[in-house]
Structure 1
Amino acid sequence: MTFPITEHTVKSARHTTGYLACGAEAGPLLIFCHGWPELSRSWRHQLPAFAALGFRCVAPDMRGYGRSDTYTRHEDFAQELIVADMLELLASLGRDRAVWIGHDWGSPVVWNVASHHPDKTVGVASLCVPYLASGFTLDTVVPLVDRSVYPADKFPAGQWDYQFFYRENFDKACKTFEGNIRNVVKALFRKGDPARVGKPAPTSMVRAAGGWFGGGACPDVPRDADVLTEQDLEAYAAALTRNGFFGPDSWYMNHEANGAYAKRSVNDGKLAMPVLFLHGAYDTTCETMTSKLPEPMRRDCADLTEVVVQSGHWMAQEKPAAVNASLAKWLAARLPDYRKA
């Protein structure tokens, strides 16, 4: 049976979240959280596939994106507030728990739901960004940089250099992206390139170049049809044009608050529920194939399944069949009773 993808909104006194839903309303719940600079639409390949397997699938526009509220202060994009948005969404669906699935900045959100609210978490899956109990912060990730690729004298922050650029030149970063949003979407959403593996990522050179795209305007490159259709491109560009980049970029401006929030997790940050992590074989920024980045996750997750997907960073859109197969296999193997619930 095919299910339509429908649009919904949940409003509270503190926040409004727009979301997509697909599948039987009574089905066991999967909540998909997108990253930067995306939309609920990023999960367009997953929602109908898992609805057909009997799940109720929900994908919110995260805070600052799409049909959800955005704000004017950096601190309004801290993880603790975004987790609260997700718990409000969960309650509005009349559910106590869900399987939480995240990608990019959506991954710290689902990891934080799991580490602070295990009672709300049946299982947790992440694409590209591994679990870091001390928080997805610069203090955590810079010490895990692969110094064989990023010598400290030349690349002190490794592939995370771009996150320092936000802190030091926030307005310039926003203005660069907002200069031509359609070109930015085309430039960012590209499939993985095996030839780039083992070489410094472009994100490691942002400060030295004076900004993204060499410090100038974003180049006009052809759309990568293996990741986005023309309709997808227009939807991303329209949403980012409407809301701007202040909100999406502000997710990078809360390292201290997010680190303090991580310290308040339960069970010393250890995760007992089933966990799935999908490695992007050609993701050079969230590089987890040879670096130490996934090691804390292996220590802190008691029931961890790892799968390598032959893709770049935009995994759910570049390799949807492989992602869907890995998720479905994990759900069947590690949470067999959830689908029957």
Structure 2
Amino acid sequence: MPTLLSKKYALIAIILVAILIPLLSTNEYYLHILTLSFIWIIAVYGLNLLAGFTGYLSLAHAGFFGIGAYALGLLTVKGGMSFWPAFFLAPVITTVIGFFIGLVALRTKEHFFAIYTLCVGYIIYLVIDKWEGLTGGVRGLIGIPGPTNIGPIELTSANARYYFVLTVLLLVVFLIYRIVNSLVGRSFIAIRNDEQLAQSIGISTLKNKLMSFVLSTFFAGLAGALYASFIRFIGPDISNINITFDLLIFMIVGGIGTLSGPVIGTLLIVVLSQQLQFLQDHRMLIFGPLLTSIIIFSPRGLAGMYLTWYYKRKAKKKAQIQTDNASIGGDS
């Protein structure tokens, strides 16, 4: 019970700090960076659900991120649709496309799945880059509208956009938590641990893998729609494979297969990137050894390192209590 209460209080404290940041700082640049970080965290959660909890690494994640962004941009800029219907439709469109891609992709396994999704991601990038009549090609889309006001709630200022993205992020974290701790989430983890064993005990592996893949694309599309509405300009580069590798780094550093990993990894790398801007392209001289060290010494990332230490400490304490009880019983 004390552990549960401490976790609850820690979570409340983190949320309160996030709420108070715009009130304590007037620097809009840092607010911009934090808002953008929240969007990346949502995308990383989608990738983590598939790779971390189901054990299937999709290298097409940036492609689905780009589909979500372009869906919002095309519906509003070229389709003349108002923001909110387009915003809700963008992740749905991404999910539908992801469903049909997943039906084929999930016939493969392990590195074949990764290679297949890498090819799919590159095809999505080529479509966005070359289909100038629809996407604008290398010119991209400009003039994408931001969130419009909801009655008396104003969403045009930097603070309002920050709180809007933060609210969406908290909803995503809540949804991921419920999914992971549900029977569906347990099925995902069973597939990750041993797919053949999961199938032998009656779990429909293809159905659950497809569900995980589709949910992953939904969160990628949602993050893409938020990105387009926040930046107001998008180009083909947002669907480039480099974006997928950035998201992978966020996930690996924070902790693959953990609930807190996407937040820790994304915020840490983004903050470090901002602090090391003076190094320009030489920043990888720091990120490279950092990432290599984490992969070698803590394959589950920083959150995984903490969880390993915590459970070892708990097991040690439990063993000590048992030893003390046994010694007391022997003395009596």
What TM-score range do you get, normalising by the shorter chain?
A: under 0.3
> RCO higher in 1 or 2 (8 Å CA, sep ≥ 6)?
2
Q: Which has the larger radius of gyration?
A: 2
Q: Which of the two has greater strand per residue?
A: 1
Q: Which of the two has greater helix per residue?
A: 2
